[in-house]
Amino acid sequence: MRSTLISLALAFAATTASAAKLEYPVAKRATSLPPSADLSYSVKGSNHGFPLAGTGTIAWRQGEGSYSLHTEARSSLFGKVLEQRSDGALDGYGLAPATFYEKRFRKDPTTTRFDRDTHRIEFEDGKMSYAIRGGEQDRSSVTFQLAILARATPEKFTPGSEWTFFVAGRRDGEPWTFRVVGTETLENAALGEQKVLHFSRKQGGSHEQQVDLWLAPDLDWYPARILLKEEDGDSFEQVLEKVNRK
């Protein structure tokens, strides 16, 4: 009897934790999409103790109710170290991804699917699945989701305000909350001095990826800087050097 009660208690705790994980706001908001553009970046970071330095690009396309994002980063030493592709439609919540492809250095590629017919997010290994409620993003699209919301209603993005989205990755997903740190000045050798709005992902645990974004209002809210940090010390930073609008 005692073991049965313990098992039931553990099962209840797991269910409660799972339910808590899926708590995130679902709300339709005004959006304003920046023009299609090719964005060029300088890249630096580290991977398992090896320093990385190179170049990166983000190809952002939007029009006729759809969007696509293609991100690449190359190291002078290792070649291509990251490729991401996100594509989908636009709806009342903003970007509505259909697929998210990611290929990381020395890792197999994965594709995450947002099935709009079954209203489920499905992952490559088939172990996890989540309901689509509205506004869910992938790890590539979430940056531009913030951009199109801030571009539409910049007055709402005040220091301390928080913006939460369910974000799907390679094999799982969870709510990400971004806090507006405030307006800062980014010294950029290629583009000059830029006023940027700094967003930082709130950490809910020690194993979460730290994400910081700097969006540039004077450059149609394109990401001027992206900084990712892992708990093991790996890092990846992109700094905008050129904007080629299409």
pLDDT at 4: 42
Closest by CA to 73, choosing from 235, 243, 244, is: 235
Both tokens of residue 78? 């290792």
pLDDT at 243: 96
Whole-angstrom distance, CA of residue 218 vs CA of residue 163: 21
* 18 within some domain: no
Both tokens of residue 65? 């109710």
* 58 within some domain: yes
* 3 within some domain: no
Residue 41 has a CB neighbour count (10 Å cut-off) of 24
Whole-angstrom distance, CA of residue 132 vs CA of residue 29: 17
- Predicted confidence pLDDT, tens digits, the chain (246 residues): 544 443 333 333 333 334 445 788 898 999 999 999 999 999 998 877 778 899 999 999 999 999 999 999 998 877 888 999 999 999 999 999 999 999 988 788 999 999 999 999 999 887 889 999 999 999 999 999 999 999 999 999 999 999 999 999 989 999 999 999 999 999 888 888 999 999 999 876 545 689 999 999 999 999 999 999 887 778 889 999 999 999
What are the C-alpha distances in Å from 128 to residues 25, 42, 115, 123, 173?
Answer: 21, 35, 14, 6, 9
What are the C-alpha distances in Å from 88 to residues 47, 64, 69, 74?
Answer: 30, 11, 9, 25
Longest dimension (CA), the chain: 70
Q: How many structural domains compose the chain?
A: 1
Write the DSSP assignment of 210-226 as a string of letters.
EEEEEEEGGGTTEEEEE
Q: Parallel, antiparallel, or unpaired for β 137-138 and 162-168? A: parallel
Helix H or strand E segment including 12:
helix 2-21
DSSP single-letter state for residue 34 = P
* 116 within some domain: yes
pLDDT at 167: 96
* 62 within some domain: yes
Question: What's the domain range around 71?
Answer: 28-245
Residue 37 has a CB neighbour count (10 Å cut-off) of 19
Domain of residue 32, CATH code: 2.50.20
* 6 within some domain: no
* 215 within some domain: yes
Whole-angstrom distance, CA of residue 237 vs CA of residue 208: 17
* 159 within some domain: yes
Q: Are 153 and 183 a contacting pair, CB within 8 Å?
A: no
**Which residue has 């299609």 as its token pair?**
36
